[in-house]
Structure 1
Amino acid sequence: MYLIRTVNALHKKIQLLKKTKNTIGLIPTMGNLHDGHIKLILLSKKYADIIIVSIFINPMQFNNLLDLQNYPKTFKEDYQILQNIGVNIMFFPNVNDIYPNGIKNQTFVEVPKLSKVVEGQSRPGHFKGVTTIISKLFNIIQPNFSFFGEKDYQQLLIIKTLVKELNYMIKIISLPTIRLKNGLALSSRNNNLTVEQKKIAPYLYKIIQKTSKKIITQNIENRKKIIDESRFSLIKKGFLIDIFDIYDRNTLNLSSEKSKKIIILASAWLGKTRLIDNKKIF
C-alpha cells in the first residue's frame, strides 16, 4: 500500500494509473475506521481495480471547534487496517495542503436547497464543507466510483446531486447502514458514549423501527400523532431530540400524502454525543 501525503504526489500517481486503464474507487473518510468503513472497502473491490481511501478530518465541515479538536485521531490503527485489507493507496494530507490559503479564503462548492434543511439547519455550513472537500477529492483523484454509507442519508443525497449537477463522470455506490447486533448504527462518535449510554443508544433505532411500522399500518395522515409519541418515547429514554420526523426522500421536505418515497430522519443527543440514524419506509 502506498501512503501519499500531498496533493501533487497523488495527482502524479493518478496520472500513471490512468495510463494503465485501471478503474479507480474512492472511499472518503475522516479516519477512526470501523466495520462500516471495512464493508465499504470490500464493496469497492467488486467495482474497481485500484482502491484509494482518503483520511482527512475536514475542518470546514465542523461548526464546533471543540468537536473538531475532540474528533478521534487513530492514524496508526487506520493505516494497519487499510494495509491488512489490501487498499492500494492511503491518502493522508494535512490541512495546509488541502487549504493552502486557509479555509476562509477557500473557493467552496454548495448544493443550495438540500444543504440548508434538516441537518443543515442544525449544523450551518456543515454540508458546504462536505461538498467542498468531496469536490476537491473528485478533482484530484478522478475516480470511476466513489462509495458512501447510507447512515448519513442527507449527505448521500447531496453528493448524488452534486455529481449530477456538476457533470462528474463518477458512479456513486451506497452501502446500507452497518449496525451492531443491538441495532446501533456504527459511527466513530460511538466511542464517546459512556458504558451506560451505550445501553441506551440502541433505542434510537428501535423507536425509529416502531415509528415506521405505525406509519405503514396507520397511514401517513396520522404522522403528527405518531411522531409526537415517538419523540416522547425517546425523551423518556434520556435523548435530547434535535431531529425526528418523516421526510420526502427526494426533496427532504416534510412528507405529505403526495410523497411517493419517504424516510424517517433522526438525530438526538445522548449526553455529549450526537447520534444520527434513518429508515426508509417506502
Structure 2
Amino acid sequence: MHTLHAVAPLREWLAGERRGGQRIALVPTMGNLHAGHLALVDRARELADVVVATLFVNPLQFGPGEDFARYPRTLAADSEQLARHGCDLLFAPSVETLYPQGLEGLTQVRVPGVSEGLCGGSRPGHFDGVATVVSLLFHLIQPDVACFGEKDFQQLAVIRKLVADLHFPIQVEGVATARADDGLALSSRNGYLSAEERQRASALYRTLHECAAALNQGAAVDISLDRARQALADADLQLDYLELRDPSLAPLTPGAAGPARLLGAVYLGPTRLIDNIAVTLPGPAHA
C-alpha cells in the first residue's frame, strides 16, 4: 500500500491509474479505524480496481466544545489494517495541506434541507464541514465510486444530494452498519465509554429494534416513539432525538405506508451515540 501526504504526488499517482483504465473507489475516514471502516474498504474492493482511503480529522466538522483535540490519531495502526484489507493508497494530509489558506474565510459547501434537523440541529455547521471536505476530496481524487456507512445516515443523505446537485460523476455506495454482538453500532467514539456506559449503550439499538418491530406490525407512530423515548430514559440514556423520517429524510407524511427510517441519538455522559434502522410501515401511519 502506498501512503501519500501531499496533493501533487496524489494527483500524479492517480493519473497513472487512470491512464491504465482503472476504476477508482474512495473510502473517506477520520482514522481510528474499526470493523465498520474496514467493511467499507472491502465493499470498495468489490466495486473497483483501485481503492483509495483517506485519513483526515477534519476541524470543520467539529463544533465548539466537541472532541477535535482528543479525537484519536492512530495512523500506524490504521495503515496496517488498511493494507491487510487490500487498500492500494492511503492519503493522509495535514490540515495545512487541505486548507493551505487557513480556516478563516474558507470557501465552504452547504447542502440545505437534508442537513437540517436531527444531527444537523444538534451540531450546527457540522454538515457544512462534512460537505466541504468531501467535495474537496472528490475534486482531488475524482473517484468513480465512494463508500459511506449507513450508521451516519444523515451524512449519507447529505452526500447523495451533494453529488446529485453538483453533478459529480460518482456512484455513492451506502454500506450497512457494522455492529457489536449486542447490536451497538461500531463507532470510534465507543472508545470514550466507561465499562458501565458501554453496557448501557446497547439499549440504543435494542430500543430502535423493538420500536421498528412494532411499527412494522402497524403500531401507531406517536405511541411507539413515545414508548421508545421512555425506554431510553429508563436505560439512563439522555435523549438527543428519536424520529421517524422518510428514507430521503424528509418529514414523514401522515398516513404514509412503505419504507421509512427510524433515527436516534443519545448521550452517555459527554459521549454522543447515533444509530438508525429501516422500517416498513404496512398501512396508514398515525400522526
Which TM class, normalised by the smaller chain length? over 0.9
2:275 aligns to what SS in structure 1?
strand
1:30-109 equivalent positions in 2, closer than 5 A = 30-109=30-109
Cα distance in 2 between the residues matched to 1:269 and 1:86? 35
Q: 1: distance between equivalents of 2:264 and 2:107? A: 31
Give the deviation of 1:86 after TM superposition. Answer: 2.3
Query: How far apart in 1 are the matches of 2:119 and 2:250?
Result: 10
Contact 2:157 2:249 in 1 (8 A): no
In 2 relative to 1, CA 4–21 (structure 1 residues): closer, same or farther, beyond 3 Å? same
User: Which consecutive unaligned segments of at least 5 residues does structure 1 have?
Assistant: none
Structure-1 separation of matches of 2:24 and 2:89 = 10
Q: Which residue of 2 aligns with 1:279?
A: 277
Query: Please, what TM-score do these two structures have when normalized by structure 2?
Result: 0.94
Deviation at 1:77, TM superposition (A): 0.6
SS state of the match for residue 182, structure 2? coil
Q: Given that residues 30 and 54 in structure 1 are in contact (C-alpha distance below 8 angstroms), is that contact kept between their aligned partners in structure 2? A: yes
Give 1:258 deviation, angstroms.
3.2
Amino acid aligned to 1:234? L
1:114 aligns with 2:114: yes
Q: What are the within-5 Å matches in structure 2 for residues 244-263 of structure 1?
A: 244-258=242-256, 260-263=258-261
Match of 2:239 among 238, 241, 258: 241
Q: Does 1:228 align with 2:223?
A: no
Report how far residue 55 of structure 1 moved: 0.2
Partner of 1:187: 187
Query: Does the 8 A contact of 1:203 with 1:234 survive in 2?
Result: yes
Partner of 2:138: 138
Measure how far apart 1:47 and its partner are. Answer: 1.0
Contact 2:154 2:249 in 1 (8 A): no
In structure 2, what is the Cα distance between the partners aligned to 1:186 and 1:275?
10
Query: How many Å apart are 1:259 and its aligned residue?
Result: 5.8
Q: Distance in 2 between matches of 1:65 and 1:259?
A: 40
Which stretch shifts more, 26-35 or 83-92?
83-92
Q: Show the counterpart of 2:155.
A: 155
Q: Distance in 1 between matches of 2:39 and 2:82?
A: 12
- Partner residue, 1:264: 262
Give the 3-state SS of the residue equivalent to 1:201 in structure 2: helix
What's the counterpart of residue 284 of structure 2?
none
Between the aligned partners of 2:97 and 2:276, the Cα distance in structure 1 is 35
Helix, strand or coil for the counterpart of 2:190? helix
Aligned partners of 2:26 and 2:119: how far apart in 1?
A: 25
CA positional deviation for 1:18 = 1.2
CA shift for structure 1 position 265: 0.6
State the shift of 1:250 in Å. Answer: 1.4
Does structure 1 conserve the Cα–Cα contact (< 8 Å) formed by 2:240 and 2:266?
Answer: yes
Q: Supply the AA of the counterpart residue of 1:226.
A: S
CA contact (8 A) 2:5 2:91 kept: yes
Please state whether the residue corresponding to 1:224 is helix, strand or coil: helix
Distance in 2 (alpha carbons) for counterparts of 1:90 and 1:256: 46
Distance 1:138 1:198 in 2: 35
What SS class does the counterpart of residue 67 from structure 2 fall into?
A: helix
**Identity value in percent:** 35
- 2:197 match: 197
Where do 5+ consecutive residues of structure 2 fail to align? 281-287
Q: Give the count of matched residue pairs.
A: 280
Cα gap change, 1:133/1:172 in structure 2, threshold over 3 Å: closer, same or farther?
same
Query: For residue 90 of structure 2, what is the amino acid of its counterpart?
Result: M
Shift of 1:66: 4.3
Q: Which amino acid aligns with 2:184?
A: L
Cα distance change, pair 164–152 in 1 and its aligned pair in 2 (3 A): same
Q: CA RMSD in A?
A: 1.3
- Aligned 8 A contact 1:5 1:91 in 2: yes
Q: Following TM superposition, by how much is the alpha carbon of 1:255 offset from its aligned partner in structure 2, in angstroms?
A: 4.9
Instruction: Please say if 1:15 is aligned against 2:9.
Output: no
**Structure 1 letter corresponding to 2:106:** Q
In 2, the alpha carbon distance for the partners of 1:255 and 1:6 equals: 47
Measure the CA separation in 2 of the matches of 1:228 and 1:95.
43
Letter in 1 for 2:126: H
| 2:39 counterpart letter in structure 1 | K
The alignment's TM-score, normalised by the length of structure 1, stands at 0.96
